[in-house]
Structure 1
Amino acid sequence: MVVENHVSLQPFNTFGIAARAQRLARIRRDDDVLALVRHPDWRPQETFILGGGSNIVLTGDLRQLVLKVEISGRRLLREDERGWLVEAGAGERWHDFVAWTLAQGWPGLENLALIPGTVGAAPVQNIGAYGVELQDRFHSLDAIDLETGEPLTLRHEHCAFGYRDSVFKHERSGAHGMGLKGRALITRVRFWLPRRWRPALGYQDLARKVAETGITDPTPRQVFDWVCEIRRAKLPDPAVLGNAGSFFKNPTVTPEQCADIIGRDPQVVHYPLPDGTIKLAAGWLIDACGWKGKSVGRAGVYEKQALVLVNRGGREDPCTGGEVMTLARLIQTSVYERFGIRLEPEPVVVG
């Protein structure tokens, strides 16, 4: 295990915010975690688990010991007439893993292409895009309890998946609570990819691709290519323009609330959900409030997609986490004043 002191975190967060970690440990295998947990000075509450840094906003230097997860590896565990069980190390880049599964002929993750971050961070956020969420393909994961050093294997029913939510985002409540925020370090994740594959084309952007191309029965690779094309047209590459992807969750409202908004703003983008609620497009709400292209200091709203906040200062003169959160709060106030809806940020604020 490698432990470094006074490490710049700018290369390790996709926003490109300049901050430092007092200490950073590179976790490349399970034994690295166990060595830390068994150390006499170990205090799990004084750690921060870092994956790909694609869903965080750093508002200052970190005094906690940063555990940077770099566990690699991907493999097929089982194949039968129903499908494939595949596994990846928590440090694997998510998009690379998706592309690898398709290259092997195992469809199912194509709608989740080009989502930044690592495999280990994907269950924490329950990532999702274009009608598919991680929980739809999730089988199980391995983790290590940072309090006890005990190995954990969690299946779908243990993870409390919700919209951009999971048990890994909540503190433990009471002696027997299952909240695992900051307590479980994910080491490997497994996915079940069924042979009976059908393309998920319900989202407007993909339906438009079907209409444009005339391809009504696309292959998994075709869906993958479409998703990559759509995302590249809408979302900035973090290597070029720092960002954390979609900054706000799409809010859900009752049919009555949606009808009220449609009465005032007929163009509002909305999607009915199976439970009877309505999902609204947060990007549309922000754009309707006039924020697209606006800036606060060196933090700005992306010109092509109002749901994305960006670092306009680049790597040389980056925005601060404070500027990002000031901009975010101003957007939240505007949306609430116009629509009566409180937008909830997706990224974790650390510092």
Structure 2
Amino acid sequence: MSSAPWLETDVSLKALNTFGLPATARRLARIREDADVRRVLDSPEVGRAAKLVLGGGSNLVLTRDVDEVVLKVEVGGLRLVQTRDDAFIVEAGAGLTWHDVVTETIARGWPGLENLALIPGTVGAAPVQNIGAYGLEMADRFDSLDGVDLVTGLGITLNRAQCLFGYRDSVFKNVLAGKAIITRVRFRLPRPWQPVLGYLELERKVAETGIAEPSPRQVHDWICGIRRAKLPDPAVIGNAGSFFKNPIVSEDQCRDIIGRDPHVVHYPMADGTFKLAAGWLIDACGWKGKSIGRAGVYEKQALVLVNRGDAIGAEVVTLAKAIQESVYGRFGIRLEPEPVVL
């Protein structure tokens, strides 16, 4: 038994990761404010131990029990920090569910996050992964964040430039990996609001409905409808959302692949490169609906791997590697997983 009453021991993580994979945390501390982090760091028992920051567990594949001290982020609170002529600055606690914040900000008259509706996970995980969907990335709406340095225990504040955002990437996935915990995130929501509709499926919604100037709530509802039609609900079928990043290739590489397979789904990028649809590549290799053990590829979207019932992390990893080998063999492209494999 732990001598520290705030330190939980032998905690099952199965309900704390959206894949529903079995694993046990030897020690877990719940973080509801910055002082909770400092209490862990000052502890003679676990202060110097390795740490694992856990939000909604939506970007995690657990293949083992966790010896690291799990810091379960549960910081709450949503508030308007500032109303400027050009933007609302809104702050959200890192432990809040991302989709709830998207919905609530629209309800309170602070729109701008609607294209990112229904992405699983917490607010604190959003900058780490630089989540994105339907023509918008979190970095496009980011202002700054607060956190705690896991080495010194000191509070930190980072602006957008300091976060080094890239495609599903940030400073928290490299330089600051395991060295900082995010406690609050501030968003810059532009005024006046303008819908972001430059995405094929949204353009189709405009054409189908005849609504050329949708409201924030309308865009939110469209996004939710599109996502629900092709992506499984983690509460029903265990998954971690999109499992692989859409690969970025050069113009020459894209031309070569089109030459071999004219139907490949590709999008031009501002820097002259091309983004390929990873889901299309996986589907073209015949993986949609297939399984290895109890881990499978979702029938409606090949980019999503699912837990078909009592899967273990090793089965998910085996399936992912088989898909990677298959896509590389046919297209010469190495798919990179989005989730962290632990």
Specify if TM > 0.5: yes
Partner residue of 1:68? 72
Deviation at 1:199, TM superposition (A): 1.3
Per-residue CA deviations over 1:187-227 (Å, capped at 9, x if unaligned) read 00000111122211111111111111111111111111000
Q: Which residue, 99, 102, 118 being the options, matches 1:98? A: 102
**Residue 332 (str. 1) matches residue 329 (str. 2):** no
TM-score, structure 2 as length reference: 0.97
Cα distance in 1 between the residues matched to 2:250 and 2:60: 30
The Cα offsets for residues 287-309 of structure 1, whole Å up to 9 and x where unpaired, read as 00000000000000000000000
CA deviation string 1:210-255 (max 9, x = no partner): 1111111111111110000000001000000000000000001111
**Equivalent of residue 34 in structure 1, options 27, 32, 38:** 38
- Corresponding position of 1:348: 340
Residue number among 245, 270, 273 corresponding to 1:274 in the alignment: 270
Segments of structure 1 that go 5 or more residues without pairing to the other structure are: 171-178
Residue 169 and residue 45 in structure 1: after superposition, are their counterparts in 2 closer, same or farther (change >3 A)? farther
**Which amino acid in 1 is paired with 2:158?**
L
- Distance in 2 separating the partners of 1:44 and 1:241: 37
Q: In structure 1, the residue corresponding to 2:221 is in which secondary structure?
A: helix
Pick closer, same or farther for the CA change 1:235–1:42 going to 2, 3 Å: same
Q: Structure 1 residue 41: deviation in Å?
A: 3.8
Query: What is residue 29 of structure 2 aligned with on the other side?
Result: 25
**Alignment match, 1:305:** 301
SS at match of 1:95: helix
TM-score, normalization: structure 1? 0.95
Letter in 2 for 1:26: R
**Alpha-carbon separation, structure 1, partners of 2:240 and 2:162:** 27
Pair 1:249 & 2:245 matched: yes
1:161 to 145, 148, 165: 165
Q: Structure 2 matches for 1:124-163, cutoff 5 A?
A: 124-163=128-167
Alignment of 1:287-302 (within 5 A): 287-302=283-298
Q: Where do 4+ consecutive residues of structure 1 move more than 2 Å?
A: 40-45
1:258 and 2:254 aligned: yes
Cα RMSD, aligned residues only: 1.0
How many residues are matched?
Answer: 338
Deviates more, 1:228-237 or 1:201-210: 201-210
Are the aligned partners of 2:81 and 2:89 in contact in 1 as well (CA < 8 Å)?
A: yes
* Structure 1 contact 51–120 (Cα < 8 Å) conserved: yes
Report SS of the residue matched to 1:199.
coil
Residue identity over aligned pairs, in percent, reads 68
Deviation per residue, 1:91-138 (Å, 9 max, x gap): 000000000110011111000000000000100000000010010000
Secondary structure at the residue paired with 1:268?
A: coil
Q: Please give the alpha-carbon distance, in whole angstroms, between the structure 1 residues aligned to 2:194 and 2:100.
A: 22
Residue 176 of structure 1 corresponds to which residue in structure 2? none
